[in-house]
Chains A and B, each alone.
Chain A
Amino acid sequence: MFENKHNWKGYLYLAPALILILIFIIYPLFNTFLTSFKENYQFMTGEYDGFSIQHYMDVFKSSKFKVAFKNTMILTIISVPVSIVIALLISVGLNSIKRLQGFLQTIFFLPYVTNVIAIGLVFQFMFNHNYGIINTVIGWFGIGPVHWMDAYASYGEAMAVIIIYSIWSSLPFKIMVFLSGLQTIDKQYYQAAQIDATPKWRVFLRITVPLLSPMIMYITITSFMGAFKTYEHVLSLFGDGGTAGDPGNLKTMVWYIYEALDSSKKGSVAVASASAVVLFIVIMIFTAIQMYINKKRVHY
């Protein structure tokens, strides 16, 4: 039929979603950006004394922010690539078996539907210094016992637990996406590769990974975004956000933003806004870099 460029009915149907998005996402986004420049901003009255970049200076000078930034970076840069590689290997494994596939898929998917706080509790048991299963198992190989999460835990040990938790809890979604991607790859590619006597690792690197690259790119970008926003993982493992020896040393950037918001100090919302904008810019830079790299490597 004839194309109607002013189909107002279409916009009407979109309106409920658009209005909600405008109120709860677009407006806060711009407002945060604006607020971050307001001096002596009073949240309750909305009063402020003009614009400056003072809050950004404060954020960059804050030692707490530096710690949060470092923690977030360490966590992200280790957990995202490692979890992607593990998820990829598990998906390829799951895809290649027939028996128990459904059962194992369910098992790998469980963390996705389990409560974060509950998992935190279970991890506290597993990583317990005295009777945790982790120390028991590594003890068989003559390692440990490691403190992990107790009062004597070091920064490195605590960070290791957080990273392991992040990797494990992010696997299900990645596996689900990779598995559905793998199932769309034509089996004939693998038969062709088999007839051409292609070694298994070469099939994986030269056929599976390239054909899965759109999914890998999607997962990489969303995982980096997610990891930069980590907060609840640390909270559920270390409620006070730090090891006993050095309180607050495990807090992440979102934690920092949250705390800035929470303090009753005058202008604190503006400081939180500034730090949120900083996080936004960091994520944006990372995403841009990935888009640039992936442009050359992703095959649609």
Chain B
Amino acid sequence: MEVRLEGLTKKFTDVVAVDNVSVVFPSGKLTGLLGPSGCGKSTTLFLLAGLYNPTEGKIFFGDEEVTEIPPEKRGIGLVFQNYALYPHMSVEKNIMFPLENMKMPKAEAKQIAYEMAKLVQIEELLDRKPKQLSGGQQQRVAIARALAKKPRVLLLDEPLSNLDARLRLQTREEIKRIQRETGITTIFVTHDQEEAMSISDQIIVMEKGIINQVDLPQKLYNDPINLFVAKFLGNPPINVVEAEIVNKVLVVNNKKTIKVDLPNQKVKLGFRPEDVRIDPNGPLEANIYMVEMVGRDTSILCTINNEKIRGIIDSEIEVNVGDNIKFDLRKQRFYLFEYNTGARLR
């Protein structure tokens, strides 16, 4: 079921949470809605669920417009951030609850609850109460409950934010597996770029209620549309240094560096830490103030004219704090952004 938003806007009393958003969530795919807190991603999700009514715009599930349809008739499954499992019901009762609302015979509901539990691999926990489960198990119960009534669209609100780091890795693979197995159109909200990158088929990056970029995860990383997207994706984050273009040469810290075919202007230079290559003949220069040895890589923290940057280099290269280093960028991978708006120039 393809989900489509057309000019969707949601205004709260004095804030525009979602601002004229038009986007397509492809059928049978896992789409990540990514952005910092307060960017309108959860509002978008609740608009899709029907828990909020849009101020303007339309929502389509396939060819059917659902903008005016109440949540219970949209055929959606929603997994809340804190799961919202009914604490007084057993896991089985929780999963059966939506089915009982549909007046399904008890035996059939029980059967489906078991199948769902099996899908999310918690079938041995059916008699437990939510409190007796770990965060990851509760998450699975919530997914099972959302899937039990065979929704057209599965919505997940920050599904991994309440889990510890180890469980997070495990659970995100689990979500991907469940989504693949069921083939259900899934939309999930997250502020964690790594999470979005690792499991999404498509990512929508939002900022201040506006969609910045809609793309495949790797494309977003390699080809960000603006400074915000470039900064938001990647860990450690992208390095940003002030620079100026003078006569088609990029000037960084008063030194001519790389040729660029752009008119004279102030810009922001962005490059990824992993693209830093120490090279005595390299065009860029920095001063090391800290060296972090992390397993196979060495992370060097440097300053260029008081701006902090990070480079990840091969651990075999010997560097010391206080060294002035020259470096190049691998495959000439760098980005130039307009100084004020952050729009991508190159």
Contacts and interface: CB of A to CB of B under 8 A. Distances in A.
A213 B71 CA distance: 28
A211 interface: yes
Interface residues of B, number: 22
Contacts of A198: 72, 97-98, 101
Given A197-B73, A198-B101, A202-B101, A192 B88 contact: no
A198 B86 CA distance: 13
Contacts of B76: 195
Most buried by B among A194, A197, A202, A206: A197
B87 A195 contact: no
A207 B82 CA distance: 17
Contacts of A210: 86, 88
Contacts of A213: 88
Interface in B47-99: 49-51, 71-73, 76-78, 80-82, 84, 86-88, 97-98
Interface in A176-215: 186, 188-189, 191-199, 202, 206-207, 210-211, 213
Contacts of B88: 210-211, 213, 299
A77 B145 CA distance: 41
B4 interface: no
Nearest to B74: A195
B84 A196 contact: no
Interface string A211-223: 1010000000000
B152 interface: no
A197 to B, nearest CB: 3
Contacts of B50: 195
Given A197-B72, A197-B101, A198-B101, A192 B87 contact: no
Given A196-B98, A198-B97, A210-B88, A191 B80 contact: yes
B101 A195 contact: no
B140 interface: no
Interface in A88-110: none
Nearest to A207: B86
Nearest to A192: B84
Contact of B84 (A186, A199, A299): A186
B149 interface: yes
Contacts of B101: 196-199, 202
Contacts of A196: 72, 97-98, 101, 145, 149
B80 A192 contact: yes
A177 B72 CA distance: 31
B71 A195 contact: yes
Nearest to A197: B72
Given A196-B101, A197-B98, A198-B97, A188 B84 contact: yes
Interface residues of A, number: 19
Contact of A194 (B51, B82, B97, B102): B51
Contacts of B71: 191, 194-195
A165 B11 CA distance: 48
A189 B142 CA distance: 12
A221 B86 CA distance: 25
A194 B80 contact: no
Contact of B87 (A194, A199, A211): A211
Contacts of B149: 196
Given A196-B98, A211-B88, A299-B87, A188 B82 contact: yes
A199 B49 CA distance: 18
Contact of B102 (A192, A197, A207): A197
Contacts of B81: 188
A111 to B, nearest CB: 32
A192 B82 CA distance: 11
Contacts of B145: 196
Contacts of A207: 86
B153 to A, nearest CB: 11
A294 to B, nearest CB: 13
A210 B77 CA distance: 24
A191 B98 contact: no
A191 B84 contact: yes
Contact of B82 (A186, A199, A202): A186
B156 to A, nearest CB: 13
Contacts of B84: 186, 188-189, 191-192
Most buried by B among A192, A193, A299: A192
A189 B102 CA distance: 18
A97 to B, nearest CB: 19
22 contacts: A186-B82, A188-B80, A188-B82, A188-B84, A189-B84, A189-B86, A191-B49, A191-B51, A191-B84, A192-B84, A195-B49, A195-B72, A195-B78, A196-B72, A196-B145, A198-B72, A198-B98, A206-B86, A207-B86, A210-B86, A213-B88, A299-B88
Interface of A: 186, 188-189, 191-199, 202, 206-207, 210-211, 213, 299
Please name the 3 residue pairs, one residue from A and one from B, whose CB atoms are nearest each other, closest first: A197-B72, A196-B98, A299-B88
Given A191-B49, A195-B71, A299-B87, 12 more contacts: A188-B81, A188-B82, A188-B84, A189-B86, A191-B71, A192-B78, A195-B50, A196-B97, A196-B101, A197-B102, A199-B101, A213-B88
